């Protein structure tokens, strides 16, 4: 049995999936956090939060790596860790640094840091000749307005946020000013970390978006498959659903895969990483959107597991321990699986959402819906979902259309006042 140090976590599904994978692997974990209450307030009523299944729960300032790393070294002397990991983007560089400090298996800490900064990722990939959008990075408004050579429409992005937060399409300088001002009004992220003031401007790419799910171990990068993505909520970019595998031609899948592998190699993310690399299949060829050095969120890992039998979260645990992951495919009886997210389009109180009977349908794999009484706001990122429905198709790639049909039924019974 191995002992893992988990440095923070997301509060969504990964806070359940990661402890489950650790425990099902026969391992134990110590949970390190700066604020345990951040997690307890999201626990289902009457149920213990899965992170409380930890062997130890220890409080420390996870936002101060200079102080944290010596503290982790002292913990290691007493508790003995075999690996360090996190599922939260904001702590991926810290976890990699901690593992490096302890001499434990880990991806290159500098590579993880570069992947977690969208502006640095752009520069590294551009230098390596990996295709991406035309871009500019600025901190001063005078510089931003001088970036018209990219041409409208533009995409405005923070360099260090997740879940599509404050990512906006802008069609003119007035919209650009509003987007930059909104971003400036959010100087500290949800984990209390001060944000970088840089603003990333990118050309708006055409075409569908997909993600390539990979696992790196022992010098080899294994491609598990390609997932598609539905986007809504303009001018925001909200993920409204996914299907695995993506309904692509062989050539399209090969193009996306090759581009993702080139991006991982350029960044140096070829050892001890489960990665989720987002690609746009544009009319001019594939372009890298971003590279995430951690398992995919938004239930994508579960889509993959339902179709292939491969558990990417378990693979994440394995490579964090320096062990070979189990990537053998099994016949699950499904040819595709899709998830659709219920995205609120209004602000108010959730009065009703009718999902009665969905869970009993033979092709429905999961249903989770918010309870009436919840305060909601019109979605501006992936953080405002009111639930999801997941379905499987044993025949082919019909899961996406089926999920969208069921989402339509849920929307028709959604009441926000």
218-237 pLDDT per residue, tens: 989 999 999 999 999 999 99
Judge contact between 169 and 237, C-beta under 8 A: yes
Architecture of domain 133-203: 2-Layer Sandwich (3.30)
Q: 50 near 16, Cβ under 8 Å?
A: yes
CATH no., domain 207-332: 3.30.470.20
| Backbone phi and psi for residue 261, each to the nearest 5 degrees, phi listed first | -65, -40
Structure-block tokens of residue 11: 């509060």
- Which CATH number fits the domain 3-106, given the four candidates 3.90.1150.10, 3.40.50.150, 3.40.50.20, 3.30.70.3280? 3.40.50.20
pLDDT category at 52 given cuts 50, 70, 90 is confident
**What is the per-residue pLDDT across 322-345, written as a single tens digit (0 to 9) for each?**
999 999 999 999 999 999 999 999
Within 283-335, strands assigned E span: 285-292
Helix axes 118-128, 250-267, angle to 10 degrees: 100
Q: Where in the chain is the domain with CATH 3.30.470.20?
A: 207-332
Residue ranges of the chain assigned to CATH 3.30.1490.20: 133-203
Cis peptide before 377 (omega within 30 of 0): no
**Cβ distance 227 to 245 under 8 Å?**
yes
Sign of the torsion formed by the C-alpha atoms of 124, 128, 131 and 135: positive
pLDDT of 56 strictly over 80: yes
Distance CA(3)–CA(47), nearest Å, equals 25
Q: Identify the pLDDT of residue 307.
A: 98
Q: What is the band of 39 on the pLDDT scale with cuts at 50, 70, 90?
A: confident
pLDDT reading at 103 higher than 70: yes
- Predicted confidence band of residue 45 (pLDDT cuts 50, 70, 90): low
What average pLDDT does range 352-371 have in this prediction? Answer: 91
CB 124, CB 111: distance < 8 Å = no
State yes or no: pLDDT of 148 exceeds 80. Answer: no
Residue 6 has pLDDT above 90, yes or no: yes
What does the block give as tokens for 308?
Answer: 């292939």
Residue length of the chain: 417
Specify the residue for token string 């420390």: 60
Fold (topology level) of 335-417: Aldehyde Oxidoreductase; domain 3 (3.90.1170)
Compute and round to an integer the Cα radius of gyration of the chain: 21
Can you point out the beta strands (E) in 102-250? 135-138, 154-158, 168-170, 199-203, 209-217, 220-232, 238-244
Residue 42 above 70 pLDDT?
A: no
CA–CA gap between residue 367 and residue 314 (Å, rounded): 23
The answer to whether the CB of 22 falls within 8 A of the CB of 1 is no
Task: Of 22-31, 136-145, 153-162, give the lowest mean pLDDT range.
Answer: 136-145
Whole-model pTM?
0.96
Neighbouring CB atoms inside 10 A of 255's CB total 17
Would you state the structure tokens that stand for residue 190, as one six-digit string?
Answer: 């949800």
pLDDT at position 44: 59
Q: Which residues pair with 47 in a beta bridge?
A: none
Q: Confidence class of residue 246 from pLDDT cuts 50, 70 and 90? A: very high
- Measured CA to CA, the distance from residue 294 to residue 213 in angstroms comes to 10
Q: CA dist 72 to 34, 88, 103, 369, 403, Å?
A: 13, 18, 12, 38, 44
Domain ranges in the chain with CATH number 3.90.1170.30: 335-417
Residue corresponding to tokens 């990118």: 202
> Per mean pLDDT, which range of 101-105, 155-159, 374-378 is the poorest?
374-378
The pLDDT assigned to 162 comes to: 93
Question: With the CA atoms of 101, 103, 106 and 112 taken in that order, what torsion angle do they form, in degrees rounded to the nearest 10?
Answer: 20
- Indicate where the chain has its CATH 3.40.50.20 domain(s): 3-106
Q: Is the dihedral of CA 118, 120, 126, 128 positive or negative?
A: negative
Query: What whole-number distance in Å separates Cα of residue 63 and Cα of residue 191?
Result: 8
């Amino acid at each position: 049995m191995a002992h893992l140090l988990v440095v923070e976590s997301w509060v969504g599904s990964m806070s359940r999936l990661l402890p489950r994978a650790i425990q099902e692997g026969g391992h134990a974990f110590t949970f390190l956090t700066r604020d345990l209450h951040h997690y307890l307030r999201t626990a289902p009523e009457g149920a213990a939060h899965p992170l409380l299944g930890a062997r130890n729960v220890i409080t420390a300032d996870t936002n101060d790596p200079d102080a944290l790393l010596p503290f982790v070294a002292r913990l290691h002397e007493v508790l003995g860790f075999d690996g360090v990991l996190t599922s939260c983007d904001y702590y991926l560089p810290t976890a990699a640094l901690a593992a490096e400090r302890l001499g434990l298996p880990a991806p290159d800490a500098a590579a993880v840091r570069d992947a977690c900064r969208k502006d640095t990722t752009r520069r590294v990939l551009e230098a390596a000749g990996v295709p991406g959008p035309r871009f500019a990075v600025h901190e001063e408004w005078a510089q931003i307005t001088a970036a018209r050579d990219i041409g409208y429409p533009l995409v405005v992005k923070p360099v260090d946020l997740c879940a599509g937060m404050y990512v906006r399409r802008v069609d003119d300088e007035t919209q650009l000013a509003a987007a930059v001002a909104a971003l400036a009004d959010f100087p500290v992220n949800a984990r209390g970390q001060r944000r970088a003031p840089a603003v990333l401007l990118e050309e708006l790419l055409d075409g569908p978006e997909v993600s390539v799910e990979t696992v790196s171990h022992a010098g080899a990068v294994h491609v598990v498959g390609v997932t598609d993505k539905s986007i809504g909520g303009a001018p925001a970019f909200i993920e409204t659903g996914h299907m695995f595998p993506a309904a692509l031609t062989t050539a399209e899948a090969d193009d996306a895969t090759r581009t993702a592998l080139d991006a991982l190699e350029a960044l140096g993310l070829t050892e001890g990483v489960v990665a989720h690399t987002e690609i746009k299949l544009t009319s001019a060829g594939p372009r890298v959107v971003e590279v995430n050095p951690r398992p995919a969120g938004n239930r994508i890992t579960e889509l993959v597991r339902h179709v292939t039998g491969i558990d990417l979260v378990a693979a994440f645990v394995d490579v964090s321990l320096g062990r070979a992951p189990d990537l053998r495919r099994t016949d699950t009886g499904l040819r595709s699986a899709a998830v659709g997210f219920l995205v609120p389009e209004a602000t108010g109180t959730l009065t009703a959402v009718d999902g009665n009977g969905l869970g009993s349908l033979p092709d429905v794999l999961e249903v989770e819906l918010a309870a009436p009484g919840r305060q909601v706001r019109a979605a501006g990122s992936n953080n405002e979902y009111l639930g999801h429905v997941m379905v499987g198709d044993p025949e082919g790639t019909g899961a996406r259309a089926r999920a969208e049909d069921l989402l339509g039924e849920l929307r028709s019974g959604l009441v926000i006042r």
